[in-house]
Amino acid sequence: MITLSRRLDQVAPSASATMTQRARELAATGERVIGLSQGQPDFPTPPHAIEAAHRAALEGQTKYPPIAGTPALKEAIRRKFRRENGLDYAPDEILVCNGGKQVLYNAMMATLNPGDEVVIPRPFWISYADMAVLAGGVPVPVDCPQENGFKLRPENLEAAITPRTRWVMLNFPNNPTGAACSRAEMRAIADVMLRHPGVMVLTDDMYEHLLYDGVEFCTIAEVEPALRDRVLTVNGVSKTYAMTGWRIGYCGGPRALIRGMTNMQGQSTSGASPISQAAAAAALDGPQALVTERAESFRIRRDLAVEMLNAAPGVRCHKPEGAFYLFPDMSGCIGRTSQGGRLIGTDTDLALALLEEARVGTVQGAAYGMSPHLRISYALDTDSLREGLARIQAFCAALR
């Protein structure tokens, strides 16, 4: 008999991955399923990144790489941080990982002791809390409701910090809400952190380049340089360059922290694929015009999606400043019955009903710590997006 670890009792499978897989299963039967659940761009990887990977393979870059990253990619990351964020990290203050998720996992595993607290603005990306729990930590959510624009208010952050707090996690633009943080708002957060010198900050900047309506990106170590020695600045190539499958995330941070995270990585996956690292370096150093062009495409889709969702009965959708997600309030749909006879008691019921009756894949807000909402990704072609949203409108209109 197989006996699994009790730690698995504390974490659930990723809800977004589960809903995406269920949508794929339905599609495999010949159903026309519109997937609005997956968090990855629909654009192709830039050709120059693919060409760099091809060259690296032909040149024999197919052996074990350095655990912390190839010198070429680390230098490209250094240039990116200086050019775009005003941050200057030495090579031994940078770590390359197998995706941004491993950066976060390494950080939690390398720093948390049993009972250490991790403050996480809610709603939050599914894996943040589970990673903290797996590392022995205690997630401390701080509510950021739609009425606040899904923004973290400094007074709420201050109230959540205790002597047990080890980390504060930031994610702007945000998954699942798309909320972004202005420089003034980040300044207010930084002022709170200055009053708590024993607390580290992890800032997940993965959606840095997906900002709209003139909103400018800022990251906390740039806004307040005095915090630099206790900030881990996390990024990657997945969202900006449509390279989710290449599995390259990276971070810059204090030397001692990077050393501990590198040690952790050395005992788990070791270094990331050198071929993927060559592609990532080319993406970071190469032409950047496509980044702006793709962001504009996402903005157009956002506007379409917000308009169509707000036209659906029982739906109230905030217009976000970034990323490629919407997190509409579905309160008006709860407690009603679908045309197929399903009682919609929760947002999980709603997500399942949309998938099984309307063939539209979404993710329930409960998975991100806040109900009754849905996370809707608009990272797909406009025609499919429009069809999926029209199905949501029809489903909501038919509720009784």
Task: Tell me: do 122 and 24 sit in the same domain.
Answer: no
Boundary (domain end) residue, out of 239, 258, 285: 285
What CATH number is given to the structural domain containing 178? 3.40.640.10
Task: Tell me: do 247 and 312 sit in the same domain.
Answer: no
Task: Tell me: do 192 and 320 sit in the same domain.
Answer: no
Q: Six-digit token pair at 123?
A: 């709603």
Task: Tell me: do 210 and 80 sit in the same domain.
Answer: yes
Q: Is the bond preceding residue 328 a cis peptide, omega within 30 degrees?
A: no
Any idea what DSSP says for residue 141? E
What CATH number is given to the structural domain containing 343? 3.90.1150.10
- Which of residues 107 and 30 earns the better pLDDT score? 107
Residue 15 pLDDT grade (very low, low, confident, very high; cuts 50, 70, 90)? confident
pTM value?
0.95
Boundary (domain end) residue, out of 226, 255, 285: 285
Q: Does residue 7 belong to any structural domain of this protein?
A: no
pLDDT at 126: 87
Considering its fold, how many domains does the chain have in total?
A: 2
Task: Tell me: do 164 and 277 sit in the same domain.
Answer: yes
Task: Tell me: do 218 and 346 sit in the same domain.
Answer: no
Nearest to 107 by CA among 133, 65, 135: 135
Residue 359: domain span: 12-44+290-397
Range scoring the smallest mean pLDDT among 16-25, 183-192, 242-251, 376-385: 16-25
Q: Does residue 197 belong to any structural domain of this protein?
A: yes
- 193 Ramachandran zone, left/alpha/beta (phi>0; psi -120 to 50): alpha
Residue 304 pLDDT grade (very low, low, confident, very high; cuts 50, 70, 90)? very high
**CB atoms < 10 A from the CB of 156, how many?**
16
Q: What is the pLDDT of residues 131-151, one digit of tens each?
A: 999 999 999 999 999 999 999
pLDDT at 161: 98
Distance CA 35, CA 85 (A): 34
Q: Does residue 152 belong to any structural domain of this protein?
A: yes
Task: Tell me: do 33 and 80 sit in the same domain.
Answer: no
pLDDT at 28: 82
Q: Does residue 6 belong to any structural domain of this protein?
A: no
Boundary (domain end) residue, out of 285, 300, 334: 285
- 3-class SS of residue 112: coil
Q: Does residue 4 belong to any structural domain of this protein?
A: no
Q: Does residue 89 belong to any structural domain of this protein?
A: yes
